[in-house]
Amino acid sequence: MRARCSSARQARLLRLYLYLCYVLIDAKESVTIGVGFVRLLDPLELRGLTLRNRIVMPPMQTGRATVGGAVTDRLIGFYVRRSAALGLLIVEHCYVSTRGRLSVKQLGIYDDELIGGLERLAGSVHAVGASVVVQISHAGGVANRKVIGAEPAGPSATGRTREMTRSEIEDLVEEFAVAAERAIKAGFDGVELHGAHGYLLNQFFSPLLNKRGDEYGGSLENRMRFPIIVVEKVRESVKGRLLLYRLGADDLAPNGTHVEDSAALAVKLEQCGVDVIDVSGGFCGSEPKQLRGVKGYFIPQAYEIKKVVRIPVIGVGGITEAEYADRLLREGKVDLVAVGRALWKDPRWAEKAVEALTA
């Protein structure tokens, strides 16, 4: 009897030992390839919306709008051809104010008359199964003087830019909010605020350009103030729809924004209701010369941001291979992957990626 009890006890101990070994191995594997084994083709739930996969087309200016910023058939065709297998399309930056325009044929969202064309664009993308948000922006100090017919205004005065007044800042918050309302009326699944690449929200955040002496400049907390106020107001405008923020996480300059600063802003963005953080470059732009040829060149910054927030993070930067994009998710580096220039060159990139990863 004792022999049987001893054998049974040994068997239980052996099962327990094997179970613990399995747990330890699984935990080690999860650290290596990403908790939950998330893949590029896995769906993602966001505020009741289901993205069919984690492939994102980031905003890239096409120059296919009218001179007045309206949607054209050519613009719709460009996006529809690239959306057949996308999880999420982020439409190129639309200027919220005529004073914040960058180029002649930039897409606009500054007037109610533009809603009809934007509605056709959103509906056409939805028809091929992709979710779609639109990026809204203001060029600030880098607005095109000839195009806007006035001196550009930014957070601080420079050789070519005047400093915005407090009343102008307050008016701009409202213009962002009303532009977001237009996006929702047009049927988009949400909006993305452009806080990267040296545009207005990024200009206020970066010490490279923001030299203000009031509550909007100086300390990190003050430099975050205007972007956060815009986020809070736009969150109200889009109600239950998606709100993304494209974060210029690194200026790649000694006296500029570093990822530690952006991590602090990312935490604030999450607290204010941002659903997804789209990590890119700051004043260095979307394709810094010093990082050309580096695969996934903004992934390290995205990974650092991901460590401090619970909301999904998009990674971008020189990603051209589906297998590499898939690996980034399996390793837990990001939650979604944005593929820009490769999709620009090959409209079927997302379709080919699905085929490659399901073969």
141-175 pLDDT, tens per residue?
999 999 999 999 999 999 899 999 999 999 999 99
CA-based nearest residue to 108, from 166, 179, 163: 179
Quickly state the pLDDT bin for 36 (edges 50, 70, 90): low
Identify the pLDDT of residue 18: 31
**pLDDT tens across 94-107, in order?**
999 999 999 999 99
Identify the pLDDT of residue 31: 40
The model carries a pTM of 0.90
| Nearest-angstrom CA–CA distance, 338 and 316 | 5
CB 100 within 8 A of CB 143: yes
Domain ranges for the chain? 1-33, 37-358
| Nearest-angstrom CA–CA distance, 207 and 219 | 9
| For range 39-61, the mean pLDDT | 97
**pLDDT tens across 169-208, in order?**
999 999 999 999 999 999 999 999 999 999 999 999 999 9
Using a 10 angstrom Cβ sphere, with 0-12 exposed, 13-18 middle and 19 or more buried, the burial of residue 327 is: middle
88 HSE (CA, 13 A, CB side):
32
Decide if 19 is catalytic.
Answer: no
Residue 9 confidence (pLDDT) above 60: no
Q: Which two tokens stand for residue 81?
A: 């051809």
Q: How many CB atoms lie within 10 A of CB 119?
A: 16
| Nearest-angstrom CA–CA distance, 132 and 180 | 14
For domain 37-358, give the fold.
Answer: TIM Barrel (3.20.20)
Q: Which two tokens stand for residue 284?
A: 């260095």
How far lies 214's CA from each of 163, 181, 223, 225, in Å? 12, 30, 10, 11
**pLDDT tens across 301-329, in order?**
999 999 999 999 999 999 999 999 999 99
| For range 261-274, the mean pLDDT | 98
Out of 95, 110, 199, 297, pick the active-site residue. Answer: 199
* Percentage of the chain exceeding pLDDT 90: 86
Angle at 246 between CA 242 and CA 250, to 5 degrees: 155
3-state DSSP call for residue 122? helix
